[in-house]
Chain A
Amino acid sequence: MGEQDNPLSGARLTADAVRALYERHGPALVAYACSFLPDVSAAEDAVHGVFLRLLRNEIETPQSPVSYIYRAVRNTALNVRRSSIRESPLAENQVHFTHQSGDHEAALGLQELLSELPEEQREAVVMRIWSGMTLEEIAVSTEVSLNTVASRYRYALEKLRERMRPFQKDRAKKDEQ
């Protein structure tokens, strides 16, 4: 997903380009927003709001639209959280991840672990795993050095691997059977 072959980069995005971005990054952005907001629908509203503003051409995006959108979603989510009168904890039954083989418990576990990660690490993991960005692209997006992003990502993977190991072993056993 290099910048040169990315038709989406530029000051003004066409409606098709915005929709393409939404298709590609929408789910990851909702997962990202969920770490700031108490429920999935609020996270979805925050993501929707950013994309609607893009569709209405109300905002100009810089060279890298994905990083801009991540920033915009984060700011919108934080504004929503600040303006809400009461903050409620994440409801246990609100799952915003699904596992391809339907392992509900593992999905909930991953969701909980992600929310426990420091913001920068969580951002790196979401961008890399579910938005398919390279570490170089994440570095450009987050305006930090490649080394910093690589360390953040490595620390996040280590934490997740440690805690997700039981689920991973279960998966391996099921696959063997």
Chain B
Amino acid sequence: MNENDRQFEDFLREFKPRRPRALPDDRLIGLHVRRLAAAAVLVVSIGSMFWVALSHKRPATQQPSSDRLAHRQDDPRKLTLIQWTRLAERDAKALEVNLNEASRRSLPGFNDPNSLLRVLAKP
């Protein structure tokens, strides 16, 4: 390194690179981490609540009694094919009422191989 080099280095140092924006405050960085943790806890809590709610609900829908089915007369569209079949087996009167109610809202399909009428017509 000679004198010319040093002079040229000094000349280059007259140029200043632009200062970048300041780094965020430490507290904000901590806040960011805490927010993430809080969001994770919230997601896990809501997920657990849904899971518990669904697992309690499942047995009730799997084995409906004929009494409970009979009480669904107010909205027969909610009954599934299995529930209709069970109703036909266990409570003919309730089936009649539900069929009457359903017929006011919709007609069962005739062409589908799994249609309600075909199922009910099976010996």
Contact = CB atoms under 8 A, between A and B. Distances in A.
A binds B: yes
Interface of A: 15, 18-19, 22, 26-31, 40, 44, 47-48, 51-52, 55-56, 95-101, 106-107, 110, 125, 128-130, 157, 160-161, 164, 168, 171
Interface residues of B, number: 20
Interface stretch (B21-29, B65-73, B81-89, B111-119): B21-29
Nearest to B26: A15
Interface stretch (B5-13, B46-54, B56-64, B101-109): B5-13
A125 B13 CA distance: 11
A97 B23 contact: no
B23 A55 contact: yes
Q: Which of B15, B17, B24, B29 has the most CB of A within 10 A?
A: B17
A8 to B, nearest CB: 15
A66 to B, nearest CB: 15
23 contacts: A22-B20, A27-B16, A27-B17, A27-B19, A29-B20, A30-B20, A48-B21, A51-B23, A52-B24, A55-B23, A55-B29, A56-B29, A97-B15, A98-B16, A101-B14, A106-B15, A107-B15, A129-B9, A157-B8, A157-B9, A160-B12, A164-B8, A164-B12
